[in-house]
Chains A and B, each alone.
Chain A
Amino acid sequence: MDEKFDCIVVGAGPAGSMAARILAENGVEVLLLEKHPEIGVPVSCAEAISCTGLSQFVTPNPEWISSFIHHVLLVSPSGKKFLLHHPDAGFVLNRKLFEKKMAEEASFKGARLKVNSCAVGLLDGKPDGFHGVAVLEDGKKKEYGAEVIIGADGVESWVARWAGMDSTLPLGQIESCAQYLVGEVEVEPDRLEFYLGQSVAPGGYAWVFPKSDNTANVGLAVTPDRTSKKAKEYLDRFVKERFPHFKVIETHMGGVPCFDRKISLVHQNVLLAGDAGRLVDSLSGAGISNALRSGKIAGEVASQYMKKGNRSSSYLRRYGEQFLEEKGRELRFYSYCRAIYLKMTDQDLDDAVSFLRDYFGNRTVTSIQPISLVKTILQSNRHLLRLLRHLVW
């Protein structure tokens, strides 16, 4: 064993850095591992987050916010538009800077951060769990001991596999995403745009999220088992249709997991946070806010576990229980919504957008209850109500 820590966090994304910061603040010896040589790179994210989703965990800082969003545009398959006005709808982040700042803060509070350090396995040998992590650090094999291991290693989570959790995602439970950061385009710097329809993005949607008044993240997500074409092929077509002139600055790809109510977030002394735990809103694919929340709760529970000397692995299960108590209902609701969304025809989507336009008119909205809004949309359409009855709630 090269060195011993109380806790090891694998992955310095929003979930991992948040967990490491909380642990360090509580005086826990924590090692934060990042496999890439640079934090925040490569980007696999559309970078948008709601105002409340961010500010309950981190104070918004213009340093890592690219744009402030006040309007949301929804475009139906036949081109019907609905524009929502909301003074504090959310932000488009600069994820590269945001992640760096989060990791810096964890490090500033006392977490040991190692970049270019790839976890390659968990160390067996404890009757009730794992006693550390094997790491390839700058190409050299090292072994670090830990009482608790937090897997915040994203959608591919090998930590979950090593711990013996069945984490393979079926093709219908993951979104295949492609995105360009485009320049030299004309966009509204405070407006998110969403484009729906089978021909635009089967089983998903396309987005235009402004990064400034002439740059934007333009991307789309498709459900891979619904199309034989690649997300990038749909994107190439969409971007040409949306912008007469553009320049590709960066290319991003991603896999967005869908929430699975059966997944367990805790196994022995291993906790899963963020995308590794599939903690994503399955309808929109939003994951940053849940990553921050899960990182925070995982950090708090692991800190208590270390402090109290309350070393039974059943104590760690509180992490999963607390997270699901706060967000389980919402995440389950959004996975039902996704199931309905996947069954909606282009005509249903047209009707839903028209309904929203009539429902909201031109008024400015100051707060939105997504669950009640989605329920209202579903109730507005007989076909959707029929679909609903076919799904087991």
Chain B
Amino acid sequence: MLQLDLKLCGECGGCVAVCPQGALELYSHGLLIKSDRCNLCENCIVFCPVGALGINTVQAKNSSLGKDKY
């Protein structure tokens, strides 16, 4: 799932412009990610000048850990 690091985001709006799905919106109070629209194309991640966006891999890691266990 796409995740935003609020501490890094400068609200410049470039990620919104490169998103082909319209999954990002910049409101008065910051960036909103509409995960249901996001297809993980990673354009926004590639664009972001500071690396504020990324894919959350916690879930994936957990599941692989689970596999090791059993």
Do chains A and B interact in one complex? yes
Q: Which residues of A contact B (CB under 8 A)?
A: 35-37, 42, 44, 116, 118, 136, 154-158, 161, 167-171, 174, 176-178, 224-225, 230-232, 251-255, 257
List 22 interface pairs A-B (beta carbons < 8 Å), by A numbering: A35-B26, A36-B28, A37-B28, A42-B10, A42-B12, A44-B13, A155-B17, A156-B14, A168-B17, A171-B47, A174-B14, A174-B17, A174-B18, A174-B47, A177-B49, A178-B49, A224-B47, A255-B12, A255-B15, A255-B17, A255-B47, A255-B49
Cβ contacts under 8 Å, B18 to chain A: 168-171, 174, 255
Closest CB in chain A relative to B33 CB, distance in Å: 14
A171 and B43 within 8 A (CB): yes
Query: In the complex, which residue of chain B has the Cβ closest to the Cβ of A225?
Result: B46
Closest CB in chain B relative to A142 CB, distance in Å: 14
Cβ contacts under 8 Å, B46 to chain A: 171, 224-225
Bound: A177/B14 CA distance, A: 9
Cβ contacts under 8 Å, A161 to chain B: 22
Cβ contacts under 8 Å, B48 to chain A: 176, 230
Interface residue ranges of B1-43 to A (CB < 8 Å): 10-20, 22, 24-28, 43
Bound: A225/B10 CA distance, A: 20
Q: Which residues of B contact A (CB under 8 A)?
A: 10-20, 22, 24-28, 43, 46-51
Cβ contacts under 8 Å, B51 to chain A: 230, 232
Cβ contacts under 8 Å, A170 to chain B: 18
B12 and A169 within 8 A (CB): no
B12 and A231 within 8 A (CB): no
Bound: A170/B47 CA distance, A: 10
Which of A42, A158, A255 has the most C-beta atoms of chain B within 10 angstroms of its own C-beta? A255
